[in-house]
Amino acid sequence: MKWEQYPEERVFAALRSVLSAKGLVTDAEIFETIAVTERASPEQGARMVAKAWVDPDYRALLLRDGTRAAELLNITMRGAPPLGVAENTPDVHHLVVCTLCSCYPRAVLGYPPFWYKSVAYRARAVRDPRGVLAEWGTVLPESTRIRVVDSTADYRWMVLPLRPANTEGWSEERLAKLVRATDMIGVTVPKVP
Ligand code: FE
């Protein structure tokens, strides 16, 4: 890869050399983090969600310590900020946003979708969460409270969605196929196609 091709790559290269000169981080650590993010994908989070739906002990662990629950499924969390998991119920629906920039559970889900980083999403998720959900086609009962969760550099959040109806007896693998990145951010809810 040619690092000097674009202005942002020159900035990255300069930052990288300053950080390693000061002994704060090595090139190897930076490239390992990039590799972990590139290996990560929403399928990893979907496996966690599906397991939590069928295994009450795993669900309890997931809600208590998301990082540990991810590691249990061989998801690399080393160096990543702690992972919090917010559980949706019929009473409370969670919507994840980073109001400041783009903090996202990258170690689990990979790179955030483009809209997640947009000023529009970051502002409107807080100001009008129900409106944002409606644009995604997610209409919740008026009685369901929407709680907006701020993901930060220190603590990353994902959502444990409600298990869709009519999936009794489904295997973990089959359930996992229902779960998309948007469901784990909370803009959508998993549905049986
Ligand atoms: Fe951020």
Using an 8 Å Cβ cutoff, are 151 and 105 in contact?
yes
Q: Does 78 reside within a domain?
A: yes
- Number of C-beta neighbours around residue 127 at 10 A: 9
CA distances from 145 to 128, 176, 181 (A): 13, 26, 21
- Same structural domain, 152 and 172: yes
- Same structural domain, 119 and 132: yes
CA 4–ligand 1 middle distance (angstroms): 25
- pLDDT by residue (tens digit) across 95-151? 999 999 999 999 999 999 999 999 999 999 999 999 999 999 999 999 999 999 999
Distance CA 184, CA 176 (A): 12
Active site residue 151: no
- pLDDT by residue (tens digit) across 25-72? 998 888 888 888 899 999 999 999 999 999 999 999 999 999 999 999
- Same structural domain, 134 and 58: yes
Active-site option among 17, 41, 102, 118:
102
Q: What is the mean pLDDT of residues 166-188?
A: 98
Distance CA 178, CA 193 (A): 8
Structural domain for 114, as ranges: 41-185
- pLDDT by residue (tens digit) across 1-16? 555 567 888 898 899 8
CA 173–ligand 1 middle distance (angstroms): 31
pLDDT of residue 9: 86
Q: What is the mean pLDDT of residues 63-87?
A: 96
Active-site option among 17, 101, 118, 171:
101
CA 192–ligand 1 middle distance (angstroms): 32
Active site residue 17: no
Active-site option among 20, 41, 103, 118:
103
Using an 8 Å Cβ cutoff, are 187 and 121 in contact?
no
Active-site option among 17, 20, 41, 98:
98
CA 171–ligand 1 middle distance (angstroms): 35
- Same structural domain, 17 and 62: no
- The whole-model pTM stands at 0.90
- Same structural domain, 61 and 131: yes
- Same structural domain, 89 and 157: yes
pLDDT of residue 109: 97
CA 76–ligand 1 middle distance (angstroms): 20
Q: Does 2 reside within a domain?
A: no
The domain tally of the chain equals 2
